[in-house]
Chains A and B, each alone.
Chain A
Amino acid sequence: MTVYKYFIKVALKNKWIIIMYITIFFVMTLLNSTDAMKREESFVETRLNIGIIDKSMSELSSGLREYLEKENNIVDILEDEEYIKEQIFLEIADAVIIIPEDFDQKVVNKKEAILIYKDDRKPQALQIENQVNKFLAFANITYKDGRFELEDVKEALNESVEVQLLSSGDSYARTGVDSWFRFYYKFTGYVIIGVYIAIIGLVMSDFRDKNVDNRRKISSKRFLDFNKEMYLGQLTLAAAVTAVFIVASMLIMGKKLGEVYYIKYLVNLIVFSFSILCLTFLISNITRNKYAITALSTVLSLGTSFISGVMVPQELLGDKVLAIAKFFPMYYFVKINDSMIKSLLEVRYELFMQLLFAVVFLLIGLIFSKRAQKA
């Protein structure tokens, strides 16, 4: 097991850069999945994020504010045009409302009484405009003897319609915890490709040294044995990386593990890791250039993540993009990860595809390795 031992030794020599790499990606995974819990769509009513600046502070403006606060989420806002525009641009706020000092007067005279910053291309703009206009129209209807009867307006506005949701699929059954796992494991897929290729490539670059290589060729070590031990070394390193992410997710979610079909995430990630390990084996046999390896690590990890639905959900991607994505194991990994299943049998095809990729990568890798042997 000389080759294996040496492989581990080189890996340990590079431990700091490996640890740094894993830490950086781990931080990214955590941030991405923490945020995911909030990105889940809400049930039936979409609440807009709005900012309100009330300069009038009248009874009418308070009533309006109260109504809007009931229907929407309020975000903090500063009275500064540039700041407001930036919040809209970044979609932190869907609309920002400014109520002027002479608000009541304008409403009574049926003038444009309120300033709203919004993106007119989006339905959210229409929604907020409707809400404001409705409230003010109602208020005006009740206007009598110099005052608004806001209690009546409020009562009327409490009237609501019944909404029946026809369930189409169970996309609504997702809980926050499930979302967390979904995003965490999906992003881990990206990390696996990036980290595997980069750090295994780093360790392999020592083996690819011309002198070492020549010595190996004249040694009595059999070609297949050498590759076997090499692969074992890579497997050890890869298993360690994947284990870090799995154990971390267990530690973070702890008891909540029972709330999701955890075995799906676990099996899927292990199968995917195996498939990527084979890809790494292939790459390290195709090229000796360590720069090319780092380049491939970044392009393959980011590229397949973008087109396979790690960064944006698969349903939002175009058909053509997805058609290309099907040529990479990442697509099947994400598909399983996003699925709502009760048994692994339901995704056997996707699991099989990942394993098939693994076998193909491995075989091509061996062919290249054999060819390099002869050269």
Chain B
Amino acid sequence: MSHFIRNCIYQGKNLFREGSYTFWVILYPIILATFFYAAFGGMMDPSFEDLKVGVEENSGITHVLEEIDFINIYEVSKDELVQKFENDEIDAFVDDNLNLTVNKSGINQTIIKEVVEQIKQTIKLNRPIDGSEFSVSYVLGRDQESNSLTVIFYSLIAMVSTYGVFAGVETASLIQANLSNIAIRINSTPLKKQNFLIAGVMVSLLLNLFANAALLLFINYILKIHLFNNIKYSTIIILLGNLFGVILGIFIGVSNKKSSTKTLMAIAITLLLSFFSGMMGPWIKVMIDKHVPFLSRVNPISIMSNNLYRINFLGSTKSLGEGVIILIGYCIMLLFASYLFLRRKSYDSI
């Protein structure tokens, strides 16, 4: 046991002294989250403002539009139209013949068009009405907040939870004699490689979890984006993501490549998987879901980010079981493959 603890301490120190590790695992996610927030922050909370409709002075239509509670009316003369549009003071202008003038297309303009059309259509219908017909609501609404941009943050968290990959790469090269000097020494001592490896996995996991916690606190308290409602299941997903990351790192690490190549590989793989899961825009995820749904079911980052938003935003745990099984499956497969590569290795010359 004391060997194990000593191994852990040494490996922990080793990782912490590696500047690149501190950067990738702690600083980089926070920098990235800040950039995301700068770019998308303003778009995450849609609010509906009343529509601004311009009419001519003493227009006959004013009293009809006044009845509608989501419309504000402004009297505008035709000469100042361009100016009013440019200053965003009105969304649309309606003249006495019920013709509409707009300066851009959009949902606000479409709603106004719909309202004005309704007046025309009611006249065309030509039936006796007393006005009460239009005060009935036939709709039973179910509110579901839409917030596809949070996918970006969930995807970032999912990606970062796999960043144990860097520590994994490092650990693997610490026990391969052809890759590092320390490994030569370790290989020539009676120290058991597997103990060293397990200690490495433990340390990597702990450090990465610590980094994840820092990121989550940063997002929650500094950026003030609240992403987690269900802590229990979210923790399971993030833990599994960490485990997957470290093991993927070991798997990449056992290949006989230069360490800078391996770091590039680790970055490229995690970045691509995150891209597919919607980290650079939820529309990519939506497109993948539509055309290659299989990919988003097997992409480990997608599994994590999809489950995170389902658990926390939609209160659904339906796909959680499948996700957990697939992630564990990956871990076992990669671990086994790495083990095959590492076991009983001997070197003719170093």
Q: Is the CB of A130 within 8 A of B283?
A: no
Interchain CA distance A40-B190 in the complex, whole Å? 65
Task: Give B111-140 interface residues, CB cut-off 8 Å to A.
Answer: 111, 113-118, 120-122, 124-125, 127, 129, 133-134, 136-140
Q: Given A46-B107, A123-B48, is A86 in contact with B310 using a C-beta cutoff of 8 Å?
A: yes
Interchain CA distance A156-B119 in the complex, whole Å? 10
User: Is A159's beta carbon under 8 Å from chain B?
Assistant: yes
Closest Cβ of chain A: how far from B107's Cβ, in Å? Answer: 5
Q: Is the CB of A113 within 8 A of B138?
A: yes
Q: Is the CB of B39 within 8 A of A306?
A: yes
Q: Is the CB of A321 within 8 A of B38?
A: yes
Provide the residues of chain B in CB contact with A168, threshold 8 Å.
Answer: 82, 85-86, 103-104
Interface mask (A160-182 → B, CB under 8 Å = 1, otherwise 0): 11111111100110000000000
Q: Is the CB of B20 within 8 A of A289?
A: yes
Interface mask (B267-303 → A, CB under 8 Å = 1, otherwise 0): 1100110010000111111110000000000000000
Q: Is the CB of B102 within 8 A of A166?
A: yes
User: Is A252's beta carbon under 8 Å from chain B?
Assistant: no
Q: Is the CB of B145 within 8 A of A202?
A: no
Q: Given A85-B314, A166-B85, A307-B39, is A294 in contact with B141 using a C-beta cutoff of 8 Å?
A: no
Closest Cβ of chain B: how far from A54's Cβ, in Å? Answer: 15
A: contact size bracket: 35 or more
Provide the residues of chain B in CB contact with A112, threshold 8 Å.
Answer: 137-140
Q: Pick the contact of B111: A92, A110, A127 (CB < 8 A).
A: A127
Q: Is the CB of A307 within 8 A of B38?
A: yes
Q: Is the CB of B110 within 8 A of A298?
A: no
Q: Is the CB of A88 within 8 A of B144?
A: yes
Closest Cβ of chain B: how far from A28's Cβ, in Å? Answer: 5
Interchain CA distance A314-B124 in the complex, whole Å? 45
User: Is A283's beta carbon under 8 Å from chain B?
Assistant: no
User: Is A120's beta carbon under 8 Å from chain B?
Assistant: yes
Interchain CA distance A91-B309 in the complex, whole Å? 13
Interchain CA distance A20-B268 in the complex, whole Å? 9
User: Is B339's beta carbon under 8 Å from chain A?
Assistant: no
| Nearest 5 pairs of A and B residues by beta carbon | A291-B20, A156-B125, A112-B140, A119-B146, A306-B35
Can you offer 10 A-B residue contacts whose CB atoms are under 8 A? A90-B285, A91-B282, A138-B122, A156-B124, A161-B113, A164-B102, A292-B20, A295-B28, A307-B38, A317-B38
